[in-house]
Amino acid sequence: MESSIAKAMALKYEPVAIILTDEKPKQARQFKEGSFSCVMFMLAAAVRGQTAVFDRKTFGCPGGGTGLGFGNQYKNMPGGEEGFSYFLSVGNEKWEAGMKLIEQIKPFVSEQIYDDIVHGERYLKTPELVMKFIECLPIIDVPFEYVVFKPLREVDPEQERPEVIVFLADMDQLSALVALANYGRDDNENVIIPQAAGCQSIGIYPFREAQSERPRAMVGLVDISARVAIKRQLKDDVMSFAVPFAMFQEMEADVPGSFLERNTWRELTKLKT
């Protein structure tokens, strides 16, 4: 499947289709069971042409499992949701039970992760706000065995229907994606940007939007930790733009005759070089 959007915007990276399926793709990259890693590493592989697959035992980290739609995996973290609430905020050094937990897991984590567990990532002010953050997430347990990241050009529309299409875009391209998302709509709030982990912004949030009669796109990679992971892999300053498939088709049909064929977009593109 080719994308008129990617062509018109001269995207550097291949759009990625996220597919929910019970069929495991052959020769796909997959985390080892029990390994701790970031879903963004697999997204980086997919935009460079590789297929990746996740299941309920190989999602990389509890946040990744939650973000990909495998239920509330924060409950399965050391210390459960309460442990996560201290990890994302003030650190387990502020929680008596957390200090005992720290010593148990120290031999199994990297120095950086250990430091974050002790002192906290500080993305939310208090553990109580983290619990509210979890409550607000559109957590789901997808009724499929696998979540697949597949380069869009390898998708056969007669054989499979993606749930979401993900673009990685620079600031100019992101501006154009937002404009195109609103181009054929009768209102101007068709893109959202809630606080979310990198995996949640391409997974459960757009999965939720895909069930809407009027789906919206989502800007992601506002997660600083996810940005570190992407920059390590791609060395580029990009944002993600996740579009439910029905909306992607709508946007694709809107490319002809739009601003993408006009002088201002051409000028902006030339100013990059």
Mean pLDDT of the chain: 95
Question: Is pLDDT larger for residue 93 or for residue 248?
Answer: 248
pLDDT, tens digit (0-9, with 9 covering 90-100), for 136-153? 999 999 999 999 999 999
Rounded to whole angstroms, the Cα distance separating 198 from 4 reads 25
Return the pLDDT at 114: 87
In sequence order, the 6+-apart residues with CB closer than 8 A to the CB of 267 are none
Return the pLDDT at 110: 82
pTM for the whole structure: 0.94
DSSP letters, 86-136, are: HHHTT-GGGSHHHHHHHHHHGGGS-HHHHHHHHH---SSSSHHHHHHHHHH
Return the pLDDT at 51: 98
pLDDT, tens digit (0-9, with 9 covering 90-100), for 225-262? 999 999 999 999 999 999 999 999 999 999 999 999 99
Taking the CA atoms of 26, 205, 217 and 37 in sequence, report the sign of the dihedral they define. negative
φ and ψ at 17, to 5 degrees?
A: -90, 130
DSSP tag of 188 = S
78-85: average pLDDT: 92
Q: Which amino acid is at 43?
A: L
Which helix (DSSP H) or strand (DSSP E) does residue 248 occupy? helix 245-254
Please determine, for residue 204, whether its predicted confidence score (pLDDT) is greater than 80.
yes
Which helix (DSSP H) or strand (DSSP E) does residue 241 occupy? strand 239-244
Instruction: Find where tokens 């100013």 sit.
Output: 271
pLDDT, tens digit (0-9, with 9 covering 90-100), for 96-140? 888 888 888 788 778 888 899 899 999 999 999 999 999 999 999
Q: List the structure tokens of 17.
A: 């289709």
Percentage of the chain surpassing pLDDT 90? 87
Spatial CA neighbour of 246 closest among 218, 213, 220, 219: 213
DSSP tag of 76 = G
What residues does each domain of the chain span?
A: 4-59+152-270, 72-136
CA Rg value for the chain: 19
In sequence order, the 6+-apart residues with CB closer than 8 A to the CB of 167 are 5, 6, 11, 13, 15, 173, 177, 240, 241, 242, 243
Return the pLDDT at 232: 95
DSSP tag of 56 = T
| Whether the Cβ atoms of residue 243 and residue 165 lie closer than 8 Å to each other | yes
| Whether the Cβ atoms of residue 166 and residue 242 lie closer than 8 Å to each other | yes
